[in-house]
C-alpha cells in the first residue's frame, strides 16, 4: 500500500471521537496512513493503524493561520522524510500553499492530492468579516490557481466544488465523492417526531450570514401554521450577526419560539434529529453539508436552497424540499408545503434515507480514496 500523509487545518478534539477513529480505520485499509492536524496540545500517537502528528492550535485566528503555514512548510518536510511518504493530501487549496511549494522544491517525486470541501474563495470573507475582502479574494484566487494547477489530482465533495475547481483549470483531473459520514450512528436513530401539534424546525451550522438562519425567523410569522419552534444549533463566530438574530427575535416577539443552543456534541445533536420535524439549511453557498446527510439518514425531512451542491442529494419533492436562494417568499411557500401535508413530508424523509443508504456508504468512501491513490 502507498504511504499517504493527510494534512488538515482542521481542529481535532482529543481523545479522538469514535467517528474519526472509524474514518481512519477505513482509510488505513487502503493506505499506510499518517495525519497532521491541530488540537489543544502537541502530541504524537498511533491509533487505528494511523500515525497522528497533532499540533497545538493558537487562540488567535491570524496566528493560527501563520502556524498552519509554518507547519505545512517545515514540519511536513520532516515527516515526509521520516516516513518516506508517497502521497500528500491537502484539505483545501488555500492553506496548502506553502506545503505545495515545499514539496515541489524538495520532493518532486511525491504526488499531491488536493481536496476541495466547499467554496474556498468566498466562504472566509462571508463568515469572518475580513478587512478589505476584495484583496483577500484576489490573493485567494492566485493561491488557488497555483495549488490546483500543481496538484496531481483533485478530490471534490460535490458538483459545485467540482465546477469551482474546473473554473480554474478545465483540464484538471477531478474525482468527486462526499465527505466521510458514519451512517451507522444515524440510521438506527429512533425518531420521536410525528404529526405534532408543535412542529420543531432545526438549523445546525455556523450562525453566519452565509448560512442565513435569520431567514427562518423572518418566515415564522408568515406561516399558515403558527405552532412552530425554531432551534438553532452551532457556533456563533460573528457577534454582529448574532445581534441581528436576537433583534429579529425581539421584533417579531418570538422569544418563546426561537431557541439558540450554541455548540452541541454529537449525542446531543442526535437528540435534536430525533425530535425535529424539519431541517432547514438556507445557505447561499454550500458544498454537500454533512448535516443534510445526517438529517436524511434519520428520515428527518430537509429543506435547502437551490444553491449549487445540495441538489446532488436533495431532489425537490422526492428526497427533500428546495426553495429559491435568498427568497423569503419562496421559503415560506415551501415551509407551508411541508407542514400542510406533513404525512407526505414524512414519506419524503423516508425516501431520502433509502436514497442515501443506497448511494453512499463507508465502503464507497474507502474505495473512492483507493481509486485516487491508484490514479496517482
Q: pLDDT digits over 63-122, tens only?
A: 888 889 899 999 999 999 999 999 999 998 988 999 999 999 999 999 999 999 877 776
Cell of 143: 493561491
Judged against a pLDDT cut of 60, whether residue 128 lies above it is answered with no
H-only helix segments in 174-310: 183-187, 214-219, 239-251, 266-275, 290-297
Do 177 and 187 belong to one domain? no
Percent of the chain scored above 90 by pLDDT? 67
How many structural domains are present in the chain? 2
Percent of the chain scored above 70 by pLDDT? 95
Going along the chain, which residue ranges are E strands?
3-11, 32-39, 43-47, 50-56, 87-90, 111-116, 153-156, 174-176, 199-204, 228-233, 258-262, 278-281, 302-305, 321-323
Do 129 and 223 belong to one domain? no
For residue 169, which phi and psi values (nearest 5 degrees)? -150, 100
Do 122 and 259 belong to one domain? no
Do 280 and 146 belong to one domain? no
- Predicted model pTM: 0.83
Give tens-digit pLDDT for 167-216.
Answer: 999 999 999 988 888 888 888 877 776 556 789 999 999 999 989 999 99
Do 201 and 347 belong to one domain? yes
Domain range for 254:
183-359
CA distances, 271 to each of 48, 189, 202 (Å): 28, 9, 11
Do 348 and 322 belong to one domain? yes
Cell of 255: 422569544
Determine contact, residues 12/38, Cβ cutoff 8 Å: yes
State the virtual CA torsion across 322, 328, 333, 334 in degrees, nearest 10. 30
Amino acid at each position: 500500500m502507498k504511504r499517504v500523509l493527510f494534512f488538515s487545518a482542521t481542529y481535532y478534539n482529543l481523545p479522538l471521537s469514535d467517528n474519526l477513529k472509524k474514518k481512519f480505520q477505513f482509510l488505513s485499509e487502503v493506505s499506510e496512513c499518517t495525519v497532521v492536524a491541530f488540537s489543544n496540545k502537541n502530541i504524537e500517537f498511533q491509533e487505528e493503524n494511523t500515525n497522528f502528528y497533532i499540533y497545538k492550535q493558537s487562540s488567535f485566528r491570524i496566528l493560527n493561520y501563520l502556524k498552519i503555514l509554518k507547519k505545512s512548510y517545515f514540519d511536513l518536510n520532516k515527516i515526509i522524510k521520516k516516513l518516506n511518504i508517497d502521497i500528500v493530501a491537502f484539505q483545501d487549496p488555500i492553506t496548502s500553499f506553502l506545503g505545495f511549494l515545499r514539496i515541489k522544491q524538495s520532493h518532486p517525486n511525491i504526488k499531491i492530492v488536493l481536496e476541495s470541501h466547499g467554496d474556498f474563495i468566498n466562504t472566509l470573507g462571508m463568515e469572518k468579516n475580513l478587512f478589505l475582502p476584495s484583496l483577500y479574494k484576489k490573493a485567494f484566487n492566485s493561491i488557488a490557481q497555483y495549488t490546483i494547477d500543481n496538484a496531481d489530482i483533485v478530490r471534490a465533495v460535490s458538483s459545485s466544488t467540482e465546477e469551482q475547481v474546473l473554473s480554474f483549470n478545465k483540464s484538471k483531473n477531478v474525482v468527486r465523492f462526499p465527505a466521510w459520514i458514519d451512517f451507522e450512528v444515524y440510521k438506527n436513530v429512533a425518531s420521536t417526531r410525528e404529526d405534532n401539534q408543535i412542529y420543531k424546525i432545526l438549523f445546525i451550522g455556523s450562525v453566519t450570514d452565509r448560512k442565513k438562519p435569520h431567514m427562518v425567523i423572518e418566515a415564522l410569522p408568515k406561516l399558515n401554521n403558527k405552532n412552530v419552534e425554531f432551534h438553532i444549533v452551532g457556533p456563533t463566530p460573528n457577534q454582529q450577526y448574532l445581534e441581528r438574530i436576537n433583534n429579529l427575535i425581539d421584533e417579531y416577539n418570538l422569544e418563546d419560539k426561537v431557541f439558540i443552543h450554541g455548540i452541541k456534541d454529537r449525542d446531543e445533536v442526535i437528540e435534536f434529529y430525533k425530535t425535529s420535524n424539519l431541517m432547514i439549511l438556507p445557505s447561499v453557498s454550500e458544498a454537500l453539508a454533512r448535516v443534510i446527510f445526517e438529517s436524511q439518514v434519520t428520515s428527518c425531512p430537509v429543506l435547502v436552497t437551490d444553491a449549487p451542491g445540495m441538489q446532488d442529494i436533495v431532489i425537490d419533492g422526492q428526497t427533500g424540499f428546495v426553495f429559491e436562494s435568498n427568497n423569503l417568499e419562496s421559503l415560506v411557500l415551501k415551509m407551508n408545503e411541508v407542514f400542510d401535508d406533513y404525512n407526505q413530508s414524512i414519506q419524503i424523509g423516508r425516501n431520502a434515507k433509502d436514497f442515501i443508504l443506497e448511494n453512499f456508504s463507508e465502503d464507497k468512501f474507502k474505495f473512492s480514496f483507493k481509486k485516487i491513490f491508484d490514479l496517482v
